[in-house]
Structure 1
Amino acid sequence: MKVVVDAPSRLHLGFYNFFEDGIAYGGLGVAIEEPKFLVRLWRSNKFEISNETGVELSDIIGKVVEKFNIMNIGISIEKAIPRHVGLGSTTQGILSLGYGISKLFNFNYSVRDIALMFGRGRDSGIGIAVFEKGGFVVDSGRRIDGIVEPPKDLKDLPLPIIRKVIPRNWYFLVFIPKGIRGLDEVTERRAMDQPSPLPKDLQYELYKLVLLHILPSIDRRDIVVFGKAITKLQVIVGTYFSRYQKGIYCCEETEIIINSLLSHGAHGAGQSSWGPTAYGIVEGRKRALRILDKVLNDIYRKGFECHYMVVRARNYGAEISWEE
């Protein structure tokens, strides 16, 4: 018997809090249908690895296998999320492999047990939450004493405090500029380990965007309000991190794509996590494809290349199944 794990990637849409009343961060994100992580695992009399995706995963596989101290296993990676581009590949890969192994060998670990075991959820709980349930998620952030450290127990992990279903006719245009990666781990830790409060007016603006605009707009199916609010939140978040990524966005290519999306009619646009992945929010597939063509023309004129896709939100989390 084989365990099959099918897990979504995610767009990290930003933070609504940085450091207030002893609570660090608190983010927003959404699971998307593609790209995704798809792995098959089975008991074997030897250690077998097959990865035909072209995505380097040896560090993730090695870390998970070493932690469980298991060598009598076969692992076949059939789909993978690009690494270090802002789509949550490390969390989804670790949770997929770890939870799959737990199921295969009857270890009875929960998703959150696995997350804690591998230090996930340090800065954001979005990746864990979309693995569990998918959809649009707002997480709680974490209580800290000045410095962000790896979670110590299950209560220390960020909690999903709100989850909503994204309408099926809302599309995300996703662009990944080639040859660019987000922040390296050293710079990321400098940016995240010692959060500082925002000025009160900006902090109030973030709370207002989330509570008065973003959340109600999903229930009202009002993509115009949703998109404008997400775009504004992203600018505030990007400004906060600009000293680390040298601008509101990680790179010129991502900024060009975001500006192009907005100029051609996307209802909202931003950078996922540290980038370079950029996304636009559009209602209706036909409109999304028209905007896609216009943005691609702008990209080609600027002389750089990117991967791109038109996807919907994935309103369910990882699927775990058994097969012969």
Structure 2
Amino acid sequence: MPVSAADPHRLLTLRAPGRLHLGFLDPAGTLGRRFGSLGLVIDGLATEVALGAASTDDIAVVDPAAQAEVERAARFLHLLREHTGLRTPLRLQLTRVLPPHAGFGSGTQLALAIGRVFAHWHGLAIGSATLAHWLARGLRSGIGIAGFDQGGLLLDGGPGPDGLPAPLLSRIAFPAAWRVIVVQDDRHRGLSGPQEKQAIATLPPLPQALSADICHQVLMRVLPGAASGEFALFAAGINRVQQLLGEHFAPAQGGAYTSAAVGRVVQAVERTQGAAIGQSSWGPTGFAILPSQASADAAVQALRSARALEPGLALSIVAGLNRGALLSEHACEPH
């Protein structure tokens, strides 16, 4: 039966999927608008939160890895209260979090997950772009925001001068049969926050000709390849985009890949399977996209047989996810 906002046993839960950032279009803003991002929402890695009534504000963790996110979660709640003026005590539970600074969009997904359950709890119809703006997310990429709402393969046009998140230009359902080998390296962390901003500022501008090449690859290979299920076309486009951006960002991250070990793994998959490969954002997470579960299984088996996986690396095979976050409302058991 439905539960009301006044019910002390009311409980909201939300699962927000992770995403891979597949590259910027124009980080230098050669036409006046910077960044523009290509990204893919994936299944299997997610942030999960729960929200319920409390006598005093409380943030609890289930997954020990979430302990490191408590301070950030408290800051998000504070900002939501400042913007709405709502001070009702709440119990926020961090059930599961995405690995931080690894290329999955952990900060944005945590912010939007908390923002969405907070808004829904209070009966507020606040869009994800507004929540992201309130919580200082989406300053460079809008794909995590659009992915939170609807999933899929996404292209945004870069943030505007008003400081609002980037507009969504394209959303394509990722082919159901295609798979992504995700390669994680817990020995490294990608750049974020002030370090990321400083790294972007100190790099020489990406030449307009290279940005034009990236845009051409995205518009005439990546997007049509995904839309029509032409994997070879898609892979050729992704690989060219990643090559250009890897070379551009190499001085800031110590090479085309933040983790050289991750780079060796995905490059091995590309050589043997013709995969679409690269690094998500600043890494260290790498990816190898393949046209089927069978080809992904074969690639992983080949890597293991060749003993190509160094200690500290972890592999998983996931599908693209063509939906956004899932919010559930139900009654919890009284204590």
TM-score when scaled to structure 2? Answer: 0.88
Deviations 1:57-97 (A, max 9, x none): 11221112222344611122222211111110110001101
The 5 A counterparts of 1:1-324 are 1-18=10-27, 19-55=29-65, 56-69=68-81, 70=87, 72-144=89-161, 152=163, 156-193=164-201, 197-298=205-306, 300-301=307-308, 303-324=310-331
Q: For 1:225 and 1:294, how far apart are their aligned partners in 2?
A: 24
Using the TM superposition, name which of 128-137 and 178-187 deviates more.
178-187
Counterpart AA for 1:303: E
Q: For 1:195 and 1:110, how far apart are their aligned partners in 2?
A: 34
Q: Is the 8 A contact 2:59 2:70 kept in 1?
A: no
User: Higher Cα Rg: structure 1 or 2?
Assistant: 2
| Secondary structure of 1:74 counterpart | strand
Counterpart AA for 1:318: A
CA distance 1:266–1:5, change in 2 (3 Å): farther
Q: Is the 8 A contact 1:187 1:244 kept in 2?
A: no
| Secondary structure of 2:183 counterpart | strand
Q: For 1:58 and 1:316, how far apart are their aligned partners in 2?
A: 27
CA distance 1:294–1:241, change in 2 (3 Å): same
Counterpart AA for 1:96: A
| Secondary structure of 1:59 counterpart | helix
Identity level (%) = 25
Q: Is the 8 A contact 1:11 1:30 kept in 2?
A: yes
Counterpart AA for 2:76: V
Q: For 1:105 and 1:61, how far apart are their aligned partners in 2?
A: 18
Q: Is the 8 A contact 1:65 1:71 kept in 2?
A: no
Using the TM superposition, name which of 194-203 and 225-234 deviates more.
194-203
Using the TM superposition, name which of 194-203 and 128-137 deviates more.
194-203
Counterpart AA for 1:159: P
CA distance 1:194–1:301, change in 2 (3 Å): closer
Q: Is the 8 A contact 2:185 2:259 kept in 1?
A: no
Q: Is the 8 A contact 1:266 1:281 kept in 2?
A: no
CA distance 1:323–1:80, change in 2 (3 Å): same
- Cα shift at 1:196: 6.0
- Provide the alpha-carbon RMSD of the alignment: 1.9
Where does residue 147 of structure 1 map in the other structure?
none
Q: Is the 8 A contact 1:64 1:94 kept in 2?
A: yes
Counterpart AA for 1:261: V
Counterpart AA for 2:17: P
Q: Is the 8 A contact 1:265 1:291 kept in 2?
A: yes
Q: For 2:192 and 2:324, how far apart are their aligned partners in 1?
A: 28
| Secondary structure of 1:311 counterpart | strand
| Secondary structure of 1:158 counterpart | coil
Using the TM superposition, name which of 121-130 and 177-186 deviates more.
177-186
Q: For 2:258 and 2:318, how far apart are their aligned partners in 1?
A: 23
Count of residues in Structure 1 that have an aligned counterpart in Structure 2: 314
Q: Which runs of 5+ in 1 are unaligned?
A: 145-150
